[in-house]
Chain A
Amino acid sequence: MNLRRDVFQAIADPTRRSILMLVATQSMTAGAIASNFDTARPTVSKHLQILTECELLTQEQNGREMIYHLNPNKMKEIANFIEPFRQMWDEKFNKLESVMKAYQQKK
């Protein structure tokens, strides 16, 4: 898997998490986002690029400025990252239950 585009890699960075929190409240231009951070503008741009590449943010050209929107579907994917792990165990335990029911009937 390309690490750069891995959503978990993307949200591992505290600045990128702050950017997501900001954009979650309202869509913003790159300039407005950068003004919330002490970090140099190119650094913020790099973060925005990574967040866009892994589809956590979507871009919209508005005149000379780029507006960033949060992609709620991708965010939901992260919120649910535990779900495949839970399902894996749920399936195993369902199997346990059916194996033991069959065993019980044999007795």
Chain B
Amino acid sequence: MELKTKIQAEENKQEILITREFDLPLELLFKAYTEAELVEQWMGTKVLKLENQQHGGYQFETSNPQGDVVFRANGTIHEFVQNQKITRTFQMENTPFPVQLEFLEFEKLTESTSKIVIKTIYKSVDYRDQILKLPFAQGLNMAHNRLQEIFSKEA
């Protein structure tokens, strides 16, 4: 089966390429990135700021059900061309991870389909690999916590 979302991460390179085709017209795909209300829905995060223009900036924040902020990220928008591209930085606040540079390119495939290509550049190969492994590590941690929960209930 052809995977819809593809990740290219060559060994010893400090960049990755994310490609995804959508069953959506180009304008709608682009809108998903530029309207705060829509970003909030699909990213599952609160949008504190989103200025879609050169020298603009953005800030996202996610809270857990108890209301504690668990994730905050921000960046600066360097290039903004409607329905074509967004070049921006991205940094997770309160983490050891340095800022990363993201090139988002939006492409029309047909009247009703489109594609996004995101090239992300990291400070080093090591940081890139650590970021790539984050969901893997989180998965392990979650499995571990789940086990602990089960065991502590039995005890």
Residues of chain A touching chain B, judged by Cβ–Cβ distance below 8 Å, are: 1, 8, 81-90, 92-97, 99-101, 103-104
- Give Cα A72 to B4, complex, Å: 27
Contact, CB under 8 Å: A92 / B7: no
Which residues of chain B are within 8 angstroms of A83 by Cβ–Cβ distance?
136
Q: Are B22 and A88 in contact (CB under 8 A)?
A: no
Q: How many residues of chain B get a CB closer than 8 Å to chain A's CBs?
A: 32
A86 contacts which chain B residues (CB < 8 A)? Answer: 3, 5-7
A-B CB contact pairs (8 Å), 12 listed: A83-B136, A84-B135, A84-B139, A85-B135, A85-B136, A86-B6, A89-B20, A90-B5, A95-B41, A97-B22, A100-B38, A101-B23
Which 9 residue pairs across A and B have the least CB separation, nearest first? A84-B135, A90-B5, A96-B42, A95-B42, A99-B42, A99-B41, A86-B7, A84-B136, A100-B28
Q: Is B148 an interface residue (CB 8 A)?
A: no
Binding site for A on B (CB under 8 A): 3-7, 9, 18, 20, 22-24, 28-29, 31-32, 38, 41-44, 129, 131-141
Give chain A nearest CB distance to B129 CB in angstroms.
8
Bound CA–CA A90/B18 (angstroms): 10
Which residues of the other chain, A, contact B129 by a CB distance below 8 angstroms? Answer: 8
Q: Is the beta-carbon distance between A1 and B133 smaller than 8 angstroms?
A: no
Q: Which residue, B4, B135, B139, has most C-beta atoms of chain A within 10 A? A: B135
Q: How many interface contacts (CB-CB < 8 Å) are there between A and B?
A: 73
A1 to B138, CA, bound (A): 10
CB distance from A52 to the nearest CB of B (A): 19
Q: Are B28 and A103 in contact (CB under 8 A)?
A: yes
User: Quick one: closest B residue to A78, CB to CB?
Assistant: B136
* Measured CA separation A89–B132 after assembly (Å): 11
Partner of B42, one of A82, A90, A92, A104: A92
Q: Do B136 and A90 have beta carbons less than 8 Å apart? A: no
Of A90, A100, A101, A104, the contact of B3 (CB 8 Å cutoff)? A90
The interface centre, meaning the residue of A87, A90, A96 with most chain B CB atoms within 10 A of its CB, is: A96
Cross-interface CB contact of B24 among A82, A87, A100, cutoff 8 Å: A100
Q: How far is the CA of A95 from the CA of B32 in the complex (A)?
A: 11
